[in-house]
Every structure is written in structure tokens, then in C-alpha cells.
Structure 1
């Protein structure tokens, strides 16, 4: 399809831009080989040439037999049909007039195609449509078959969009149509014919469901009979028949071709849409096996893609969205999105794409996300280009149109998870909105750039409208609607140059003379005619020799003109060089901008990293503060535990002192109580030992914690071990006290000694506790020092961060300064380039003026040469007819031939001679010839004696061309002396040369006045020697060499 579309685009563009009335046969052959979808794709990609093609085809109706078939083929595209009716509104009625006639069978397809889509709003419906329908119904009644039913179905399908036209058709015609179609349904044994009849009834019932009661009344029998097929009376049977036809189209036993099978499913969709919803629900409730069978057929393998796509579309339009199987939804999305957009547009009818998108959007949030993702990709334009992008944009418009028909609540619930991507896409595209075409004319392309930009802008506005609908809160929807309306009204109208032109703008013209004016006169068969013929042959020979000389001279003149145009070509090459340099500077500017963006991105990344480091340092500070607070709490707990141990020791000391006093007073009477007391003391000592063990464990934990922070934790562990040794010694002393108590005789002395030892031990314990307090105070001081150190480090980190931030700010300022400097340099370069371009343009204009002056001079000299040549021809004619007899004219002829032969090497000079010398020799040879012709004409002699007077003397020095190079002044002097012809003709070479020289001087003076303020470079080309002596014009090389006048005509042999 892509190759056919490219060929069709090239052929149409060739026709609409032809400089003459073109032939349509090639386009007709191409259309016959292409599909109908190709024409629709062409109208979609090149809408700017639709109107031009319509004008060309209408213009060719009176002279080409293929113009009408081409209009029929292209009218299948609704855009072409609309433009055709807009530019030529009479054509519809004219075609109907021909089609209703008995001999107008060839106009029937054209009329059906023109009515196959709804008419535009501004088109007035013609009155001949009723007899046209009558003729179509009569043809169908005579031969009921698919070929005769299809035109009526296409006609009614188009009129469905214009119910007012159907209402204007008389009831008798519609009743006849209903009757004939009912007979065909009963008698026709053809699946496609039956579906076409039912689809036609469905179109009529849908179009006239509400308006016919007003037009025809409520008891219209023909309309009631049509509605019975879709209502309570026959609705179930009709739907059952339609589903069976779809199952048959999807089965392997179907005898229809794949396009016909897909068309039958499309007709089934049209019929199912016309059935009443209650009848649909009743049928689906009682025919679950048929639905399952249809689903199985639709998702099975072995089906053609187009047939399977239409079957899936039928199920999506028949079944509710929530009851669709997941496999059907996946196949529907695959058929719509995951294929080539051109293939999807070719396989699925355009009017059914929004319905499929609506069904998929109602089926759930995943399908909605995929539809929006496809639309986002199309708007970004990353995957498609050219024709594919145009098809994808059109498909995206249809998909969005279907999604916007979904109920608001369902749509909002499905769009919740797609709002962020939608916002990102709108943010990306709004920078380029509205898009403008890169070129004003799309010649040579397969798509129109203006139409592409228009579709992109429309898709963006549709997405923005969808986003506004999804995010509307508290009356903002009304504000955005009004704003969107203003935006759409203020959008610029993007139109291609083809859309504003006509085919006649490309037409050219060429005036040709009638060839009968050049026919020769009748030959006079006498001796005068023979003499005249002989002289004409001699003149022709001389003329050919002279023309060869002129050809050589003109060749040399062309070479000289080529050399004159050399500086202009050099200036053009220099201009192209400057243009390439300008393009290179622009690219360098873009590269510098990209580098600047990269540097800005890197700087922002560094700032972001610095900020993250600062946050991490703050988190570390917070963690250290929490750890310090935990250690302080733990130290407070240790202090409280030590104070409680001290109080217990003091209590034990006081109880021991009391016990010793009691033992001293009571002695042996209290021995048992003393033992009990000692036993209690042992228990207390054991408890104290356990508490000391717990303190040891706590100290060990504290040691492990303080080992992580500083090296002072080792000292704390040593102190804890010494405290454990002292506690162990105290335990051993108590054990010794227990041994002393066992001795009954020496108990008192031992108790006293033990009391003293206990006092000493208690003193040592008190000193140990005091040392422990001092150690705790020292730990407090170390903790405070570590806290101060952490604070100082945090302050230092803050200071370093501020220094780094200030450095980064200074670097950004430097980059901005560098960017401004680069921009200033770029602007200066652009100004220099523009100034140089202006200088080059001025030089080019100066050269063009000089070249124009030289051309004027050449044209003047060419006119002089033409007049001289005509005068020479007249003189030669006079010389030829004044001879007496052939014998008397023989010597002059011989002499003239010899002079011509002698003059040939004079004109054909070698290439080593300069150009000025060649021009001077040619001029002097012409002057000598003119001076010889100015001599007296020889008289006819009396009698038969030979004339001794020659017409002109070939031996005179004036007849020979000079061999030496003479200065321009001398040649001008010789020409001024010999001017018999100059006196007879006011256009003399001297005058033309003076006038041309004065013109060149005037041009140079004007250019010097305009270029006086310029620099020295502007005057560089002023010294070019462009005032060359050009004798002939390139435009006048061979146009003035033919004989003119009645005497120049050569009679045929």
C-alpha cells in the first residue's frame, strides 16, 4: 500500500502542476490497480491537493472519457467529495439528471458514490434524488442480486447522516422500496444480499426513529414494517440470523473471500446496532452457547487478519464491556494499537474505531493506560515519520474521540494512575505549541506539512481537554472550557500553498504561427524563373558560407560571454562559501549551547551531592547526640547504683558496730544471737557480692561502649578490675571472720580484731568509692570534651559547606559570563556574516547591472547587424535581377564565388589571435562588403557583346580583410569615413557604441555613488574589465539569419 500511495501522490501532483491540460490515462490506470483505502490515505496525507484535482477532473469531463470514472473513484473519500461539491455545487444535480435519463447508465456509479457519505451542511439537496431512488429500486426489482442491492445500501448509508433528505422523499417511493426489499429477503438465497437488505432497513430505522412521526405521521405502515425486523416482533430472529452469519464468516467452511467476509461482519454490526436494547439483553441471556462459540471462533487460529479484526469488533459492539473476556480485550488492543497504523486504518472502518476505543476504555484501567500511552507516543512523534505519522495522528484522534464518549465516572477512575504521564506529556509538548510547518508548500513530499502540524495541534488540545476533564475541581472545568475555546479560536490557520491556488496558475502559453503562411508561391515556368532560381541558389550558397562564419564568430562570442560571467560565478561561489561558514557557525553555536547545558547540569549535580552530604552530616550529628544522651543516662544509672551500694555498706557498718557492742555487753549470753547476726551478715555480704557482680557486668558494658568512642574506656576497665579485686579481698576477710566466729574461746578477741580489720576494710572501700566518684566525674569531663569536639567538627563542616557553596556560585557566575561572551561573539559573527552577505549582494547587483548594460549593447549591435544583413540581401537581389543573360552574369558569379572563398579564411582565424582582433576583422570585412555594394549597379549592355564592367572589384584593397591588428581608434575612423549605409540608416554602429559606452559609464557612476561610503573591499571588483567589445547577443545567435520578404523564398524544384 505504501508504494501505491507514493505513486498516486506523485501522479496527482504531476497533474495539478502541469503547465498544460494534462492527460488522465496514467492516473486512471494507477487508480484501477490501487485499493480504495489508498485513495482515502491520499486524501488524508495531501488534503491541500484535493481541490486542485477536483478542478482538473471537472475541467476534463468534456474532453476525456476517464474523467468520470476518476471522479467516481476519488469521491469515495469524503474530503474529496465535500471539496468537489463546494467548488462545483451544480455537478451533483447535473449527474442526477444524466443518471435518471435512459442513456445515463455510466453516471449511476458516480451519483451513488457522491451520496455514499453524509452531505455537507451547506449543500442544498437536489430534487432529482427521489426519481433516482425510484430508478435504483426498479433495477433491483428486475434483477435482485448483490450488485443491484449494494448501490441502494450505499445511498441510504449516506443519507442516514442527513435525515432531512429522507424526510423529503415521498412515502410512495419509500413504501415501494420497503416492499421490494421484503420480497428480496424472502426469495433471495444469498447471504450477502440478505445482509445488505437488512442493513439498509437498519439504516432507515436508525435515521427515522424520531423524525418520521413529525413528517409522515405516527402510523406510517412502511416504517412500521421496517421496525418490526428490529423490535419485539422479529428482533430476536434478526439478531440470531446475524450472529449465525458472523460465525459462518469466521469458520473454515465459509465460501466468501476474506474482504467479502469482513464486509459481511461490518453489515452485521450495522444490523445489530439497530436492534432494540431489550431484545439484545433477552437474546444474550438465552444464547450463551452461541456467544461462546463466536468467541472461540474469533480468537482461534487460521483466520485472516481483517476477518478476525472485524469479528473482535463485532463482539466489542455486541457485548457489554465488563463481560468481555480478557483475551478479547488483548486482541482488540493488539488490532488497534500494536500493528502498523496504516494497516489498522485499512482493516477497520473509520467510523468503528471510536466505538472500539470506547469499549476498551470501559473494560478497565489497563486498557485505558495502553490507549493513552499510544496517544502519548504519537504526540511525541518518536516512532513514526511522514505517511506513518499522518496515519498515526488520525488514528489517535479517533481513539481519543472514543475515549471522550466514556461515562465521566468510569473515565475518571481509569485516569487516576495515568495523570502523571499525561501531565509530563503536556509539559513536554506545550513548549512547541502551536507547531508551525517548516515549509509553506509540500511539493515533492508524500504528505502535507501544514496538515501534519494542524493534526498535532488538534491532538494536543484534545489531550489537554481530557486532562482538564479529569482534574476539574470546584468549577475550574467551566473556566478551562472557556479558555480552551479562546485558544481554539486564536489558533492560526495553517494552509499549504496548494490549497490557495488553482490549476490555471500553473498553466503556460506558447504562440505558434500558422504553417500555411510559409507555403511557397506558384512557380513561373519561364526563363526568368530559371534565372531567378540560379541566382537564389548562388545567394543561398553565399548565405550558408556567411552563416558558417557567423556561427564561428558566435561560438567565439559565447566563449567570451562565458569569460565575462566568470566574476559573477566567482561571487556566487564566494556567497555559497559564506553561507556554509554561516551554517558552520550556527552548528558551533548549537554545540556550545549543548556544552553549556551539560556544564549547568553537572553543576546542579554537584550542588545536589553537596546538599545530600550536608543532610548526611546532620543525620550523623543527630545520631551522635542520641548516643551521647544514651551514655549520659547510663552513667546516671551507674551513679545511682553506686550510691545505693554506699548506703548499704554504711548501714551494714552501723549494724556491725551495734552487734559488737551487744556482744561486748552480753558476752556469752548473746552468742547464739551473734551467730545469727553473723549468718545475716554473710547473707548480706553475698547479696553485696551479687550486686558487685552486676556492677561489674554493667561496667563491662560501659567499657565496651566507651571503647567505641575513645581510648579512655581501657582505663575504665582497669579501674573496674581493681574494684573487683578489692571486693574479692573484702570477701576473703569476711570468710576469715566466719572462721574466727567458729572459735568459741577466742571469739571476743578475734571479733575485736576482726572489727578492727573490718573498719580498715570499710575505710578502704570508702576510699575506693571516693576514687570511683572521681573517675565518674572525670568521665563526665571527657564526655563534655568529646561533645565540644563534635560541635567544633560540625561547625567546621558547616564552614566547609559554605565555602564550597560560594565556590560553586562563583563558578556558575563564571560560566554565565562565558556564556554571555560566547553569545556576544556569536552575535558579532552573525552581524559580520550579514554585513558580508549585504556586500556580496551589492556586488552581485552591480555585476548584474553591468551584464544588463552589456546585453543592451549586444542587442543594439545585433539589430544593426540584422538591418545591414537585410540591406545586403536587398542589394544582392537587385544585383541578381539586373543581369541580361546567363552568359553575361557568369564572370561575376565566378568572381563572387572566388571572393567568398577568399573571405572564408579571413573569418576563420586561428585561436591564437585575440578576441578584439577577431571582432575588428569581422567588422572591417562587413564594411568592405558594404562599400562594394555602394558602387554603381552594372547596366545591361546593348547587343550581344560581353560586359567588361564588373559589379564589384575583388582586387581592391578595400575588399580584403586587414591582417594586422589596428587600434580601436583607427577602426572607428575607417568606419566613420565609409558610411554610405550609415547615411541611409540612422542606427549606425558608431552611435550605438557611443550610446552603449555612455550607458556603461552611467551605470558605473551610479554604482560608485551608492558605494562611496563603503570600505576598500566593496570596490575590489570595480577594476574588472567588463567593458568588452561584444558584437552579438546570445539570445540573437541564429534568430536573424533567415531570409525575409518575398524575394527570399526559394521555389521548390
Structure 2
């Protein structure tokens, strides 16, 4: 719940930062004085760097003008972000403040708190530690030595400076000063202080830790169990000699700090409890556990400590630190459900105000101790708070602390099985499922109005928080066991996609900060405003020269008048100009909305025009697709040629897959049997080792029992002798009281004799007692030797057992990993073979569905091929007649036909190649082979027709001289019908080579009158196109029939002119 003073301070900070002119800081000083330090830190931290930088510039500019600005600066410097921005902008400010504080006693008192606050944290990297800090630290140390032994203020100042930027200055102090300081620390620790002085003792503890072992603190994560060497007397007394007393004092001090109605600031209480926690962490773990379980008043102290930590009206940050201290001192024992509930509530509430470094230190120390004791309701409350911080916009401080909590939750989920199981159960609930779905829909860029001040800075922290939340949930999903509640797989995929699509956001501020070039500032003195080039006197100098002519009263009157004017202007700004500014902002916002609406209208019109264009383009695309569809129908027949090969490949792949699957199954079964046998052998070895260990433990117990019996006998004998001595002394005293003076004189001799006897008896008793004591010492030494030997034997047995277990576990793990990798490889290969087998089956199914139409096409092509063969036979008979005519003509001319040609005869060349009935049988048995043969025959028939036509054209248009000698050309011999049916993946080869180019006769040009003469029969373009694709190699056999006739030397134009075949 936000308090009114904190809300007023936030409004005032926004007013000062957003004011366009130098604002008055009077109200800011009042609100800072009313607010506490933790609230100031939270308000400063939730603002972006640009706003903090502007606030630092404003306060720095007002520092030489108003004295109360020092108090404002001191309060704001409690925030690490503000002090870092201030020192980064003005690195010389710290040096001037330290020099001013060292100049006089009054100045030291005025600036002491501000200097200590600035030095209480490490300086920015760009700001060096000034030399004046050494003198200031020396002065503070001397004041701490000279102060009263019960004054805690000076010790607190020394601790804060050592914990910040002055950690290395302690070695520069004079030797006597360091010696005196160490003696005072030892004296304070050794003295019996009252409960009210517990803070002084804790400051001393913190100083000792920072002086001797500052490295043990680390980066906010000190080691939990360490054994360090201490050089100083105070360090040895705390951590080596009186460890039990140290633990008891730390608990009592924390009890006093958390007590009700104690006048201690929350920041000091937090720091003192942290010192107590660090003190515990530097004590060895076994000593802490021993004190908590065996100390006389430990249980009572821990009970009272838990009651103090659970009281109402306690600050949540202080309560969180106290509960963490209690968990650490008890090592997680005795954590009741009430303590766990308070811890969860304080953890969630503290995130908005806690410093990130200290929050991380506290959570990393305590969460692992509280996690095993949490219930499902507690875990659900934490997860709901985490998801709500992601969904709803929040301050950057809360988002940063929530990110730290998510990281620690992820670490605990991996290490604590009970906590992980409860997390998985909580996530499976309906409300958290809905919250996670809302979280998955969130965007990195927030829509909060406050985030508009610097959206990139806010988006950076929001992205880190979302990434940490996703990582925590994924750790819970991937680390879940078989017996635990499973994490929903769709949600895992969504989380992975969310993590993958997170944008990279820079944390750099995009606002232009008013980084005006300030001239070097001498404290409380500032030069005038730089001249603008006009040769005029500066207004401050002119005003100062005018005021020098007047007296003190007039100057005060002018100052008061100017201050009243300033206040009037400020009130006017708040009452008149502020509403006007708000209205102008609304008007600008409405104008922006109008512009956006107009832009949306233009966008919609553009989209409509684009839709029309897309519609026209779609129509053209449809026409184009129809054309492509026709082309695809034409190309679909090319798939038929690959059918048979795919069948063979599918059958081969199926056989290989079945063989590989059988081999993998046999190998997997063998490996499983071997692994089970090895596991059983390891279990037997483990059981045998455990039995040996139990036997050794029983022997140790027997020896311990005998030793206890000997000790009891020695104690009983010593008690008996002591009782006899006491009885003798009592009898002597009673006799002295009862006897009178006269009887004493009479019995003096008797008593003297009895006294002598008693003394002799006493001497005898003492000698016997010394003998018994010596015997008791021997027994104790023997007991110590037996205990030591037993412990050594037990430790040796434990080490041997642990080494055997580790070796066996490592061997088993290595073998398991090896077998697991082999099994994964085998399974992967099996899946690949299954996929290949399924793909082959699908291909076979598609190809089988394509076989019936292919067979129909083959039958149609077979019929066409038969018709073409009939035509070819007719052509052969015509060619034979022509050759007979040619031979007759040669005989008539007196020439021998056998001597004119060396090529085979036409009858031999064009002999019939195959019987038609045989072709029909092949078409039934092998449709694919018949298809190839038919295509080849069709191509040859087309070639023959073209050859006949060319021969007729040549004979009519290009006559040859009768006496001209022509180069002979070898006849083309083709036997297409006699060729075997080719395979699908093999191209057809010609049966004869082409004739040499030197033997070819030049072809005569065709007559244009004879170019369009139809010869024989016509073939469609579609059939011709298919034939050319399927019998490319057969086309190489193409030859003209005029080569047959050109081998003669006579002119046949008159014989064949105008005669179509």
C-alpha cells in the first residue's frame, strides 16, 4: 500500500523533472524529509536514466544557491542510481565536497553525512577516488577513536566507508592509528554491552570482516562454509576462540533489532542483519549446526527469534532479512508453515523497494532453505506474482528483482525434487494455465503511461524478465521425472517460440538529455552565465555592482521581493499554466488521432485498389494456369518410362529395410540383456559393501559401549571417596561444637591422637585417590586412543566405500551413456528405414494406379505400329520395283549394276525384321519394351517417308550430268524391328555408323514448286513429338532414299518427275 507522503514525493519529483524552467526545490526538501530512505530509493530507481540525469543536473545547479540543497542531495544520494549519475556528470563534485569538509570543523559537520553517503558505495568507473578522501577518512577514524566507547555513529560511518569506495584506504592509515583502532574494536567486542548497544557490536563485526577478508563476501554471494585465518585479536576472538558466544550474540542482536518499539532506522536495521548473516556464513557449517543442536539456550533463543520475526507492523524488507538469518542459523530445521507463509509474503512485497544486489544475496542464501518446506499454495502464490509482473506493467526495480527471483527459482527447481514436483502440480492448475496463456500473449513494449517517459529502457528490463520467466518454466518442464506431473507439451512449444521470438532491445535511453556544458564549479561559488557574443556586462555582475551602493536592508528587501515574485510565478504555473498545458496536450493528442484516422482511410483506399489489381492479376494467372495445366497433361506421359525401374528399386529398398530392421532388433535385444546383467552385478557389489559397512559400525558401537562402562565405574569410585571425606569432616565439626571447653581440655590429648589418626587416614585416602585418578587418566587416554582409532577406521571404511561407489557409478554411467548413444543411433537408423519404406510404398501405390491407363496407351500404340509396319512393307515392295527398273535401265545402257555399288543390296538392307505376331506377344508380356520398340518403328517409318519425298524432289529439280562422277555413299542399314526392347534408363543406339562426310554427295536444292507435295501418309505432331522423345537415338539412323539412287551415274529426273509415291 502506497503511503500519502510517498505519493506526494513521486508527484513532486515528476514536477521538478518535467518543469521547463528551474523549479523551486523547497517542496521537494519537505517531502524528502517526510519519506523514508527505502521509499526514496524505490522512487528514484523506477525512473529512467534520462530523468535521473536531469534531476541530478537540477539539484547540482541549485547547490551554490540554497543551503537546504545539501540536505536534498544527501537524501537523493541514498539511491545508488542517483549518486552514480551525479558523480558521472560532475566528477569534480566529490573532490570539492571533501576539500570543503576538511577545511574546518563546522564545514566537516555540515558536509560529513553527504560525503559518507557518496563514499558508501563503489564509485563509477569514470570517477577516480580523489586524494582528499584519505584525509577525510583519517579524520573520521580519529573521531571514532576519540569518541565514547558506546557511541555507534562514528563506527557506523567507518563501516559504510569501508563497505564502499574507501576499502583500500585503511592500509594507508598510520601504524599507531591502526593499532589503536584494532584495540578499540577488541575492547568493544570483549565488553559486556547492553542490548541497546547491539548495533555498535554489529558495526564492529562488519568492520573486522571488511578489514581482514573482504574477498570472502564476493559479488553479493558469500560462501556458506569456509575456514579462514584471522590475524587480528578481534577476528580470532570472534571466529576462532568464542564461536558459540559469537553465534549467540548475533542471534540476540537480531532479536533486539526486530523487537517492537525500537528506535532504529529500517536501512540501518537491514544493514546490521546483513552483517549478522555474513558473520554466520564465515563460521564453519559444523560449528553452526553444533551450536544450534547442542547449545544450552539455543532452542529458546531460536524460538524467541522466530517470534520476533513474525510480529506484525514490521517492515517487509527487515522481516525478509530476519527470516533469512533464522533459516541460516537453523540450517533449514524448524521452519514452520507460518514462517514459510511470512517469508513468501515478505519476498513478494519487498521486490518493489529492495536494492537488487542485496535482494539477490538474500534470496540466494535463503530460498534453497525455505523451498523444501513450501506448500503448493505458497508456490502458486509466487508463480502468480511472477506471471502478473510479466503481464501487467510494473516498475523497473520490481522487474529487476523479479528476474533475480526467477533465476534463483530455476536453480532450486533443478536441485530440489520436492519443490520441482509441487511447481509442476501448481502449473497444471487451471488458474495458472490461464495466467501462462496470458503471459505468452504479452509484448515486450509496455503500454503503460509511465513507461512512455523512456520506453526503450522499460522494454529492456521487461524483456529480461520475460526471458528469465520462460527459462524458469522450461527448466521445470525439462527436469521433470517420470513419476512427477508432466508439463503440457503444447505449452513447452509455445514457451520455446516465445523465447525464440523475443526482440533484442537496447537499454540505451533515446531521449536527448540536457547536458549543458557546465563550467568547473567551486563549491558555493559559480561563474556567471557565458556571454552570448554581445559586449555587455553580465547581469549578475551588474546587479552585484548596483547592490553594493545600497545598504544591507535594501539588499534583503530586494531578495525577499525576488523570492515572492518567484513563488507567485510558481503558484501561477501550478494554477493557470498547468491546466492550460494539459488542455494543449489533449488538443495535440486529438490532432494526432485525426492524423492517424486519415492515414488509416488512405491505407484502406490503397488496400482496395490493391485488391482490384490482385483480382485482375488473378484472372490472368488463372488463364496462365489453364495453359500450364494443358502442358502438364502433355508432360505427364514422360513418367511412364520410369515405372519399371521404380518398381525394382522399391522392391530392393523393401528387402533392405526388412533386413536392417531385423539386424537392429537383434542388436538392441543383445545390448539390453548385457546391460541388465551388468546392472545386477553392480547391485550385488553394492549390497556386499553395505553389509561390510554395517558390520564395522556394529564393532564400533560395541567398543563405544565398553568405553562408557569404564568411564562410569571411574566416576562412581571418585564419588564414593569424596563422600567419605565429606562425612569425616562433618563428624569432626559436630564433635567440636558439642564438646564444652572443659571437656575439650580434658579430651585434648585424646583429640590430638584422634586427629593424628585421621590425618594418617586422610593421607592414605589421598594416596588411594591419586592412584584412582592415575587409573582414571589411563582409562581416559585409552578411551581417547580407542575413539581415535575407531574414527580413523570408520573414516577409512567410509572413504573406501565412497571411492568404490564412485568408481562403480562412473563405470556404470559411462557404459550406460555408450549403450544409450548406440541405442539412439540404432533407433534413428530404424526410423530412417521406416520412413524410406513408407515413401517407397507410397510411390509403388501411385505407380500401380498409373499402370492401367499406361497399358491402354501401349495397346493403342501397338495397333498404330502394326498399321505403320503394313505401310512400310508396301513401301519396301515399291522400292524393290524401282531398283529392278534401275537395274533394267543400267542393262539397257550397257552398264554392269554389280560394279557400280559396293553397298549391300536393297533386298538385304530392307529385309523384313520381325513377325507381327511376335510383336503382339511382346506387347502383352512387356508393355514398356513394346512401347520403346513401337516408338522406334514409328520414327523409322517417318524417316522413310521423308527420304522418299526428298528423293522425288531431288530427281525433279536437280539433274546430274551423266558423265559426272559422284562420291559413293554407304547405304544405311537399319533393323529397327529386329532390335530388342530397350530398358527404361538406357537410350537406343544405332546399329550402323554414319557414312564418312567425304563419301556424301551434295544434296540438290528442292524445287519450290515441289516443297509441299504430300508423300505417303501424314503423322500428327503430337505422335511425332512423343516418338522423338522416346527414340532419340533411333533418329540418328535417318537416311535419304536418294542416297541409294545417287550411287548411279545416270539422270532419273525424266523418269521420276511428278510421280508421287
| Higher RCO (C-alpha under 8 Å, 6+ residues apart) | 1
Q: Same fold (TM over 0.5)?
A: no
TM-score by length of 1: 0.41
Larger radius of gyration, structure 1 or 2?
1
TM-score by length of 2: 0.41
